[in-house]
Structure 1
Amino acid sequence: METTTHKIEFISQGFLLKGVLHLPQAGQPPLVVGSHGLEGSKESAKQKVLSTLLVKNNIAFFRFDHRGCGKSQGDFITDTSLEKRTADFINAVQHVLDLGKTSRDLAIFGSSLGGSTCINAWNTLLQMDVRLCGAVLCSAPAKSRTVEKIPTGANNGRPALPLSFFKKNLLFNITKKAVSLSNVLIFHGDADEVVPVSNAHDIYTLAKEPKRLIIHENGDHQMTSKKDQAEFEKEAAAWFLHCFSQ
Structure 2
Amino acid sequence: MATITDRVSFKARDGKSIAGRLDRPLGPIRCFALYAHCFTCTKDILSATRICRFLAENGIATLRFDFRGLGDSEGDFSQTTFTDNVEDILSAYDFMQREYKVPEILIGHSLGGTTALVAASKFKEIKAVVTINSPCHPIHVKRHFVDVEDEILWSGAGDVMIQGRPFKLQREFFDDLEKQDMKEVFKNLDAALLVLHSPNDETVNVKNANYIFSMARHPKSFIALDGVDHLITKEPDARYVAQVIHAWASRYALLYNDKKMPNIEGQVMVLESGEGKFREEIYMGVHKMIADEPPSVEGGQGLGPSPYDILLASLGACTAMTMRMYADYKKLPAYHARVNLTHRKIHGEDCADCEHKEGKIDIIDREIVLEGDLSAAQRQSLLEIAKKCPIHRTLLGEVKIKSYLKG
TM range (shorter): 0.7 to 0.9
Tell me how far apart the structure 2 counterparts of residues 154 and 109 of structure 1 sit (CA, whole Å). 22
Q: CA deviation at 1:222?
A: 2.1
Tell me how far apart the structure 1 counterparts of residues 78 and 91 of structure 2 sit (CA, whole Å). 21
Q: CA deviation at 1:224?
A: 4.5
Q: CA deviation at 1:237?
A: 2.1
Rg (Cα) greater in structure? 2
Q: Is the 8 A contact 1:153 1:161 kept in 2?
A: no
Is 2:153 the counterpart of 1:153? no
Structure having greater relative contact order (Cα 8 Å, sep ≥ 6)? 1
Q: Is the 8 A contact 1:143 1:172 kept in 2?
A: no
Q: Which residue of 2 aligns with 1:210?
A: 219
> Structure 1 pair 27/219, CA: closer, same or farther in 2 (3 Å)?
closer
Q: CA deviation at 1:136?
A: 1.4
Tell me how far apart the structure 1 counterparts of residues 5 and 226 of structure 2 sit (CA, whole Å). 36
Q: Which residue of 1 aligns with 2:96?
A: 96
Counterpart of 2:40, as a letter, is E
1:33-52 equivalences under 5 Å are 33-52=34-53
The alignment partner of 1:212 has SS state of strand
The alignment partner of 2:131 has SS state of strand
Query: For this pair of structures, how many residues does the alignment match?
Result: 238
Q: CA deviation at 1:158?
A: 3.6
The alignment partner of 1:153 has SS state of strand
> Structure 1 pair 65/202, CA: closer, same or farther in 2 (3 Å)?
same
Is 2:242 the counterpart of 1:233? yes
Query: Unmatched 5+ residue regions in structure 1?
Result: none
Tell me how far apart the structure 1 counterparts of residues 251 and 172 of structure 2 sit (CA, whole Å). 40
Q: Is the 8 A contact 1:17 1:67 kept in 2?
A: yes
Over the matched positions of the two proteins, sequence identity in percent amounts to 25
Q: CA deviation at 1:135?
A: 1.5
Q: Could you tell me the TM-score, scaled by structure 1's length?
A: 0.84
Counterpart of 1:242, as a letter, is R
1:106-125 equivalences under 5 Å are 106-125=104-123
Counterpart of 1:240, as a letter, is A
Counterpart of 2:11, as a letter, is I
Aligned CA-pair RMSD: 2.6
> Structure 1 pair 27/233, CA: closer, same or farther in 2 (3 Å)?
closer
Tell me how far apart the structure 2 counterparts of residues 145 and 20 of structure 1 sit (CA, whole Å). 29
Is 2:87 the counterpart of 1:87? yes
Q: CA deviation at 1:111?
A: 0.5
Tell me how far apart the structure 2 counterparts of residues 50 and 225 of structure 1 sit (CA, whole Å). 11
The superposition leaves residues 23-62 of structure 1 with CA deviations (integer Å, 9 ceiling, x where unpaired) of: 2234453101111111111112222112321111111111
The alignment partner of 1:89 has SS state of helix
The alignment partner of 2:77 has SS state of coil
Q: Which residue of 1 aligns with 2:186?
A: 178
Q: Which residue of 1 aligns with 2:126?
A: 132
Q: Is the 8 A contact 2:25 2:60 kept in 1?
A: yes
Query: Unmatched 5+ residue regions in structure 2?
Result: 147-159, 257-407
The alignment partner of 1:46 has SS state of helix
The superposition leaves residues 76-95 of structure 1 with CA deviations (integer Å, 9 ceiling, x where unpaired) of: 1112x111001000110111
Q: Could you tell me the TM-score, scaled by structure 2's length?
A: 0.53
Q: CA deviation at 1:2?
A: 4.1
Q: Which residue of 1 aligns with 2:201?
A: 192
Q: Is the 8 A contact 2:114 2:137 kept in 1?
A: no
The superposition leaves residues 91-121 of structure 1 with CA deviations (integer Å, 9 ceiling, x where unpaired) of: 1011122113xx4351011001110111111
Q: CA deviation at 1:144?
A: 3.6
Q: Is the 8 A contact 1:149 1:193 kept in 2?
A: no
> Structure 1 pair 150/192, CA: closer, same or farther in 2 (3 Å)?
farther
The alignment partner of 1:124 has SS state of coil
Q: CA deviation at 1:122?
A: 1.3
1:163-174 equivalences under 5 Å are 164=171, 166-171=173-178, 173-174=180-181
Q: Is the 8 A contact 2:78 2:168 kept in 1?
A: no
Worse-matched range after superposition: 31-40 or 167-176: 167-176
